[in-house]
Amino acid sequence: MSPAQARAGAPILLCMTLGGSACGLFLLFYGRFLSTSYIPSVIGVILQICAITMAMGFGLYLRSSVDAEKGSGFICAFWRVEIWLIALLPMRIIYFACLQLLNLIPEATLSHLWVRLPQPLWALGRVLLFAGIPIALYLAVCLFVTLVLCRSHKVK
């Protein structure tokens, strides 16, 4: 394949790899929450790995060919969206770890922290506090990577 043909097919391949990664994420969560088997989760992880490998290989091919800027732009465009799909799995793990920490804290200790609030409100506040930490971390990391990649692409 010539570099000109590769450049012409770059948007299609970008959509295909991002779609494949999104399908892998769907299978991953389907296998975790709705299926009794781990087979959909394994297929989802393999699909995400294949999509990332294909996109990175194509981007490196474009970078090593005549048009190095187009290859870097392809890789940046891929990771600007892909970070939002990839970071969901570690965020889910951190979320469940925070919920396990929440179960370790005795009720008496937490009731002293929010004495003046009615019990349904402080129970909701506890969950929001421990669920908010992973969600805020997810948003911060993904926004940071997206903004850095957008900025670095504009500078070049």
SS3 44: helix
> What is the spatial distance between Cα 57 and Cα 6, in angstroms, rounded to a whole number?
12
Instruction: Based on the fold, state whether residues 19 and 92 are members of the same structural domain.
Output: no
> What is the spatial distance between Cα 148 and Cα 139, in angstroms, rounded to a whole number?
14
Q: What is the pLDDT of residue 53?
A: 93
Tell me, rounded to whole angstroms, the distance of Cα 129 from its chain centroid: 21
Q: pLDDT by residue (tens digit) across 39-90?
A: 998 999 999 999 999 998 888 888 887 666 667 788 888 888 999 998 888 8
DSSP 51-113: HHHHHHHHHHHHHHSS-HHHHHHHHHHHHHHHHHHHTHHHHHHHHHHHHHHHHHS-HHHHHHH
Instruction: Based on the fold, state whether residues 38 and 22 are members of the same structural domain.
Output: yes
Q: What is the pLDDT of residue 105?
A: 74
Instruction: Print the domain residue range for 42.
Output: 1-82
Instruction: Based on the fold, state whether residues 72 and 91 are members of the same structural domain.
Output: no
Instruction: Based on the fold, state whether residues 77 and 3 are members of the same structural domain.
Output: yes
Q: pLDDT by residue (tens digit) across 110-147?
A: 666 666 666 666 667 767 777 777 888 889 999 998 99
Say how many domains are in the chain: 2
Q: What is the pLDDT of residue 46?
A: 93
Q: What is the pLDDT of residue 22?
A: 92
Domain final residue pick, 82, 99, 134 = 82
Instruction: Based on the fold, state whether residues 52 and 113 are members of the same structural domain.
Output: no
Q: What is the pLDDT of residue 127?
A: 72
Instruction: Based on the fold, state whether residues 24 and 55 are members of the same structural domain.
Output: yes
Q: What is the pLDDT of residue 144?
A: 92
pLDDT-derived band at 33, boundaries 50, 70, 90: confident
Q: pLDDT by residue (tens digit) across 81-117?
A: 999 998 888 888 888 887 787 778 776 776 666 666 6
Domain final residue pick, 37, 63, 82 = 82
| Residue 4: Cβ-neighbour burial (10 angstroms; 0-12, 13-18, 19+) | exposed
